[in-house]
Structure 1
Amino acid sequence: MLVTPLFNYTQQSHLHTFFWRFTHATPEERGIDDTFVPVSPVNTANAEMIKCVRKALSVEETDPLFMVKVSEASDQYRAKYSAFLASPSGPARSFYVSRCFTASHHYPLGRGSRCFSAYDAVSKSIVLLKDIWRVNKYHPEAETYKRLHQASVPNVADVIAFNDVQGERHVAAVASIKSRKHQHYRIVLGQVGRPLKAFDSTHQLTEAVLDAVCTHRRAYEDAKVLHRDVSMGNIILYQNQGWLIDWEIARCVDEDKGPQVPERMGTWQFLSLRVLDNPAVFHQPRDDLESFVYVLLWIAGRYASPNATPAKRAFFLEQFDYEPLGAAFRKERLLHSGRSSLRFCGVKTAPFLKLLGDLAVWLMEAYNTDGDTQDHMLTYELLIPKLTKALDNEVWRSTYDRAFSFPVGYTDRVTSEE
């Protein structure tokens, strides 16, 4: 995010010039996305079809409705991905959307990602439309999905359509700052799941995280893809399983030997201690495995904590946030406290609380060793059996402790490093 130096607006015309230019600009120049075409409520030609669309999307007559077309970018692109595109030969495919269900685009930082439940006019089904400004240095997300499907990685979404939005690119125009090029991009996926925070029980929550860990392992070992942004929002519940989504900043580990950008990548609350301490560190599978643990801990404190007061809940969750004394200061304190820190999270279900304690101790013991030993301790071979063994508890399996948004004097917006 860039800001101007201070200036006296009563003596200099910068602000006045800006507003004059803004008021005389076209809608497109103002940032209005004219590729989202409003659907007229008086369009009698398609009235019945639009009625079906609104019913399928569960939107009222007074809610906005837009039509957006998504297609492959070129004939060469279509040929490259014809094996997994539902409609590889058509020039465009129409989707209908209303309001997006994500909120990160409201904030000044980030890539302006928006996700919509969309009605596919071809299959007459509900799909997911994702609208983002991708960083050009990364593979387009559809390419990553192609790799994953070619390697038969389970629990990843099917790609319906995708394309770069033509004519919309952005480059930061400041000579003293290393700029990154962004490209407006859309991808449509075939599965729309429930957010992980809507779990029916903590046993289901943990099963979903285990599913995502297994997907992550297959992606890394079979497809040579490292996710790099494991977070609460990037695991969904679909058909009673955990699916790992949002592969937009994933890295193909067999293509280069260094990080694609020098900054931290991922969602702050769930980044590993190692990545927080050193932004330029080479991101490894162990960092994502650590993030899976933080996903369980954070959700436990936010949505599975009936025994905590709002103050204790806030204290526990704030340990995942930014700290001026050091990026990893609070999270490091959380781990070194071990099981004792969990008294603030307020989890009532005993088997789940024990698992959280075991995982916190596992990370603490790893970080109390040297770097090489850490690499051997933070592995799939150790994390997966811990989760699997805990899930074998029949008492826990039959416990109904669904998610609930407990009161907390704390804003739980998840922030991302871009």
Structure 2
Amino acid sequence: MLDENGGGILHDWDLAKGGRVAESLVSEDGFAHNPYRTGIWYFLSARLLIEPLKIHTLQDDLESFFYLVLYYALRYIPYNQGIEKLKELQSQIFEECRWNSTSGQYLGGEGKFFTITRGYHTLRINFVDHRPLQNWLRNTLGCIAEFYRYCIDTEQKHFEEHEGEPLPLHCVPVPPPPASIGLHNHEYFSSLVKTALEAPGWASMRTYLGDDLDQYVRTRGRRRMSTLVLPRICGPPKRRLF
């Protein structure tokens, strides 16, 4: 986090690893030795939630930023739906998890994967008075979808080349995307953010559906869901909220 003078705060230094240590965490076949995933469950990429042994990459972090913006937009920016839709998206996109006895891990990401591969329209939300936000969400999700198509095509090609061989226990490691893919680095993603922030049409209206949802949870004796106290790092909620 940088301030206007170039100074700032370095977060999560305790989670940093030196180059040699980082290399030792990757197996010869390109998977992580440890299924521990760094991040908040709500905002982890679909591929990290689906495959715990996937190596954490730049593309995962860029995708996480999309979910972070979407999460707070749904809670505090007016759109064409009410609290029932917020509850639905909260459950399907951010909280979705299941225990997998084979891997001995919590898995998730199916709702995110569906949204990415099927398109923004599947969310059924429209930020009518916040066109720059609406356009950014749509364009960014399209950029993420392009990367996922690259991953799917790469995995499909691998299976075709190894037809008849035993299926791998984990997903196929995908090499870094070429320059033709928007998410091959952060530059195109950053340009989408800059374009949205500079565009006219940002309204000042706010909604408080997020606060209403918190109140809904409290009045039913459930665990309070707070925008400040999210699920613990790398772990899903202990139980479903709804």
2:126, 2:134 within 8 Å by CA — same for their partners in 1? no
Q: Does 1:390 align with 2:171?
A: no
Contact 1:306 1:406 survives alignment (8 Å):
no
Question: Quick check: which has more Rg, 1 or 2?
Answer: 1
Letter in 2 for 1:308: Q
**In the alignment, which residue of structure 2 is the partner of 1:250?**
16
Higher relative contact order (CA 8 A, sep 6+): 2
Partner Cα distance (2:234, 2:128) in 1: 29
Match of 1:417 in 2: 234
More helix by share: 2
Question: Relative to structure 1, is the Cα distance of residues 247 and 315 closer, same or farther in structure 2, using a 3 angstrom cutoff?
Answer: farther
Q: Aligned partners of 1:403 and 1:380: how far apart in 2?
A: 31
Q: RMSD in angstroms over aligned alpha carbons? A: 3.2
Relative to structure 1, the CA distance from residue 277 to residue 401 in structure 2 (aligned partners, 3 Å threshold; closer, same or farther) is same
SS at match of 2:48: helix
Relative to structure 1, the CA distance from residue 412 to residue 364 in structure 2 (aligned partners, 3 Å threshold; closer, same or farther) is farther
Counting strand residues as a fraction of each chain, which structure ranks higher? 1
Q: Mean Cα displacement is larger for which, 349-358 or 402-411?
A: 402-411
Q: Contact conserved, 1:307 with 1:348, CA < 8 A, in 2? A: no
Partner of 1:341: 122
Question: C-alpha distance in 1, partners of 2:56/2:131?
Answer: 34
Question: How many residues are matched?
Answer: 180
Q: Deviations over 1:175-223 (max 9, x none)?
A: xxxxxxxxxxxxxxxxxxxxxxxxxxxxxxxxxxxxxxxxxxxxxxxxx
SS at match of 1:279: coil
Aligned to 1:282: 55
Deviations 1:272-311 (A, max 9, x none): 1221122122212221111111111111112223532111
250 and 272 in structure 1: CA distance in 2 versus 1, 3 angstrom threshold: farther
* C-alpha distance after superposition, 1:20-64 (max 9, x if no partner): xxxxxxxxxxxxxxxxxxxxxxxxxxxxxxxxxxxxxxxxxxxxx
Classify 1:329/1:258 alpha carbon distance in 2 versus 1 (closer, same or farther; 3 Å).
farther
Matching residue of 2:205: 401
Tell me what 2:157 maps to: none
**1:372 Cα shift?**
3.6
One-letter identity of the residue aligned with 2:201: V
Give the match's secondary structure for 1:324: strand
Counterpart in the other structure of 1:156: 8
Q: Flag structure 1 segments of 5+ consecutive residues without an equivalent.
A: 1-144, 158-243
Residue 339 of structure 1 aligns to which amino acid in structure 2? Y
Is 2:62–2:186's contact at 8 Å kept on the other side of the alignment?
yes
**Residues 12-91 of structure 1 correspond to what in structure 2 (within 5 A)?**
none
Tell me the equivalent position of 1:263: 36
The alpha-carbon distance between structure 1 residues 329 and 357, as it changes in their structure 2 partners (threshold 3 A), is same
Instruction: Please say if 1:329 is aligned against 2:181.
Output: no
TM-score normalised by length of structure 2: 0.62
Distance across 2 between alignment mates of 1:407 and 1:295: 19
2: CA distance between counterparts of 1:315 and 1:375? 36
| Pair 1:252–1:333, CA change in 2 (3 A) | same
Cα separation, 1, equivalents of 2:205 and 2:191: 23
Structure-to-structure mapping, 1:299-378, within 5 angstroms:
299-318=72-91, 319-324=93-98, 326-344=107-125, 348-369=129-150, 370=154, 371-372=174-175, 374=177, 376=179, 377=181, 378=183
**Match of 2:158?**
none
- Structure 1 residues 312 and 347, CA gap change in structure 2 (3 angstroms): farther
CA distance in 2, matches of 1:348, 1:308: 13
Mark the CA change 1:309 to 1:287 in structure 2 (over 3 Å): closer, same or farther.
same
**CA-CA distance at 1:375 after TM superposition:** 6.6
Q: Residues of 1 paired with 2:64 and 2:234: CA distance?
A: 14
Per-residue Cα deviation, 1:286-341 (whole angstroms, up to 9, x for no partner): 21111111111111112223532111111122212133285111111222232213
Given that 2:79 and 2:125 are in contact with CA atoms closer than 8 Å, whether structure 1 keeps it comes out as no
In the alignment, the residues of structure 2 paired with residue 270 and residue 311 of structure 1 have an alpha-carbon distance, to the nearest angstrom, of: 21
- CA apart distance, 1:154: 4.3
For the residue of structure 2 that corresponds to 1:275, the secondary structure is helix
Structure 1 distance, partners of 2:62, 2:144, is 10
Q: For the structure 1 residues 374 and 403, does the alpha-carbon distance in structure 2 shift closer, same or farther, using more than 3 Å as the test?
A: farther
- Listed one character per residue, the Cα deviations across residues 156-181 of structure 1 (whole Å, up to 9, x for unaligned) are 32xxxxxxxxxxxxxxxxxxxxxxxx
Partner amino acid for 1:361?
G
| Structure 1: distance between partners of 2:57 and 2:8 | 21
Q: 2:240 maps to what in 1?
A: none
For the Cα contact (< 8 Å) 2:50–2:109, is it kept in 1? yes
